[in-house]
Chains A and B, each alone.
Chain A
């Protein structure tokens, strides 16, 4: 397979006006043009200027990723699109809340694992835990995988938030 056809995972940061419908515009663009969304995170980041930051993790060939960036850039309320995967070094974090139920050895093992992963216990009952874990997507995937045989009940994930390393801002 040539590099041009290789599916890559890219994290895009999109700075938008926080106006009604802006998220629908972005999501509609992806569904309408058949692009993938692996995860999507959005919140207002500048209250005064009414700006939101959308972090999109997407999958596609390099030309498709270029096309996604150009299409995003074309949306009227979009200020900037930065491809954190190619344009700079970046850090990426996701938060997950993971509910695990069980008693006895499984329960002890789950707690031991959560310590190894630096997860925090945010809720506990005699037969359940809710762990809060942050990290990159792979770390969270690994933690959830380990919890499966130990009584995993439910997962809530935020999707990735990402930012470039160093003093520069987008």
Chain B
């Protein structure tokens, strides 16, 4: 006979058995029994956020920087609906998360009770899976399944909705090992025939490129190591999506920088002109491909992805390998070595000379300004002054995010936390909170914009409460910069509602929260101000006043192809965007 626990105890026991040390949450009527259990134990620390969206992003930052599962605890009704944005974000970026929501007692479900919402109905399309626990005898199994589903295969968020009466009811507890899912069995090992075909294509490629993504990060640091080995062995160039930054060191010569809408000239041209594309753990997202019918027209394509539905979804490929990146890379390397593959050195040399010509365009160069801080310069200086520290970067969403991706350089995985798929403004501060909880001694910086940062600004209070010394580095241009840029490009410069009117004084705001505020307005004072930020022991809001109308380049305009990208030295933004392009986002 299993031992009997009440529902709240089963929740806590299962969290402990899954090695959970931190949970992010906000209490309310429907989760009080679980909070009461939290109060009576010490192995799990609860971080009280200021809004449930913050809890989800904090859990994402925690998960992304550690490889562990992020855990969220919120109440019914508004607690659950506030978590929806973060759940969707985690689904789009494949972040492992278990979100426990309270629910009104089972006998009240469906009666429009106070703080009742159809949580499983609302979260069905924004979770990998979700559960409503209606029987205490199912609770332990469901908790274990939730962790299994969230962390294996293509990771994602799982909601467990627990009515309040279930939290009080007595039921059995069994250990995680006793639970095996009936239908859920993700494929981890790649098909060897396909892997051999891939290696053969690699052996015969004349203009190859590796195109890697967040799947490498999700697969763990070992996948990054294997990727580095394969890239070195082949001598091929490599680019990565926004989500994959850090899986290959940016200091290396074979690294072409990020690709896509705001990727580098060399990466995008190489993608366009290649004869072999080796996609490992990326999903041919529209930010990456540009217009699909002109996407890399002359290449054979290999696609490694753990999710079968990613294969041939946007781009038809020649060799598809369903499996976990690390496992597939390991097999690829083995076949590559045992076949004693030698790349075509002559062809590669001529391919590299083409790439070097694109590189020589120096697409990330920008006009320096002696009086005002250029946002690119601010990120460059931030990078130079923090690169030797143990640094983690989060971002909000918009121009600053792209500048961070372009000008901050990453050498290792799990150091870069950003909202890629959903593009959630307000991600950065709570994500930084989560990262700092996991890495209390590290330097955690949210590269932010003054508009995004106000969406979840209240989480600075969480940072102050838990003495999390996060640094919020705001590139303040008084605009929703990316919206403004698109209005300049597509809507005749009519800046409809994109100006940040009535901004708070961020320095005073920091002080009001009990944090430190620092402002820099000129390039001359920037370095000292950044150093002061780094040396400040507590949380800091850094208000970096930057030029207002800077555009983010390079850029592939909507409806255009990789070889039609705009550079900063193009004649302004005065270009024709196709009617079809204008309807795209």
List of B residues within 8 angstroms of A17 by Cβ: 182-183
Q: How far is the CB of B215 from chain A (nearest CB, A)?
A: 15
Q: 8 tightest A-B contacts by CB? A: A70-B309, A76-B129, A79-B183, A70-B308, A76-B184, A71-B309, A32-B125, A74-B309
**Cα of A73 to Cα of B125 in the assembled complex, Å:** 15
Question: Assuming the A-B contacts A67-B309, A71-B309, A73-B309, are A24 and B183 also in contact, with contact meaning beta carbons closer than 8 angstroms in the complex?
Answer: no
Q: How far is the CB of B17 from chain A (nearest CB, A)?
A: 21
Most B C-beta atoms less than 10 A away, residue of A24, A74, A75, A77: A74
Given A28-B125, A70-B308, 10 other A-B residues pairs in contact with their CB atoms under 8 A? A21-B121, A32-B125, A63-B316, A70-B309, A74-B307, A74-B308, A75-B129, A76-B129, A76-B181, A79-B182
**Cα of A20 to Cα of B118 in the assembled complex, Å:** 13
**Cα of A70 to Cα of B132 in the assembled complex, Å:** 25
- Is A25 interfacial (CB 8 A cutoff)? yes
Nearest B residue to A66 via CB reads B312
- Is A82 interfacial (CB 8 A cutoff)? no
- Is B362 interfacial (CB 8 A cutoff)? no
- Quick one: which of B120-152 are within 8 Å of A by CB? 120-121, 124-125, 128-129, 132, 134, 149
Q: List 14 A-B contacts (CB under 8 A).
A: A17-B183, A20-B134, A21-B124, A21-B132, A24-B121, A24-B124, A28-B125, A67-B309, A67-B312, A67-B313, A70-B308, A74-B308, A76-B184, A79-B183
Q: A76, B316: Cβ atoms under 8 Å?
A: no
Interface size of A as a range? 20 to 34
Q: B312, A25: Cβ atoms under 8 Å?
A: no
Q: How far is the CB of B35 from chain A (nearest CB, A)?
A: 27
Chain B interface main SS type: loop
- Is A106 interfacial (CB 8 A cutoff)? no
- Is B270 interfacial (CB 8 A cutoff)? no
- Quick one: which of B289-313 are within 8 Å of A by CB? 307-309, 311-313
List of B residues within 8 angstroms of A70 by Cβ: 308-309, 311, 313
**Chain A residues within 8 Å of B, Cβ to Cβ:** 16-17, 20-21, 24-25, 28, 32, 63, 66-67, 70-71, 73-79
List of A residues within 8 angstroms of B311 by Cβ: 70
Chain B: residues with Cβ within 8 Å of the partner, total of 20
List of B residues within 8 angstroms of A20 by Cβ: 132, 134
Most A C-beta atoms less than 10 A away, residue of B128, B183, B316: B183
Nearest B residue to A67 via CB reads B313
Q: A78, B308: Cβ atoms under 8 Å?
A: no
Q: How far is the CB of A137 from chain B (nearest CB, A)?
A: 28
Q: B183, A77: Cβ atoms under 8 Å?
A: yes
Most A C-beta atoms less than 10 A away, residue of B124, B149, B316: B124
List of B residues within 8 angstroms of A73 by Cβ: 308-309
Nearest A residue to B158 via CB reads A76
List of B residues within 8 angstroms of A79 by Cβ: 182-183
**Cα of A34 to Cα of B166 in the assembled complex, Å:** 37
List of A residues within 8 angstroms of B309 by Cβ: 67, 70-71, 73-74
**Cα of A113 to Cα of B124 in the assembled complex, Å:** 47
Q: How far is the CB of A158 from chain B (nearest CB, A)?
A: 26
Q: How far is the CB of B179 from chain A (nearest CB, A)?
A: 14
Q: How far is the CB of B194 from chain A (nearest CB, A)?
A: 16
**Cα of A71 to Cα of B308 in the assembled complex, Å:** 8
Q: How far is the CB of A152 from chain B (nearest CB, A)?
A: 37
List of A residues within 8 angstroms of B129 by Cβ: 75-76
Q: How far is the CB of B412 from chain A (nearest CB, A)?
A: 31
List of A residues within 8 angstroms of B184 by Cβ: 76
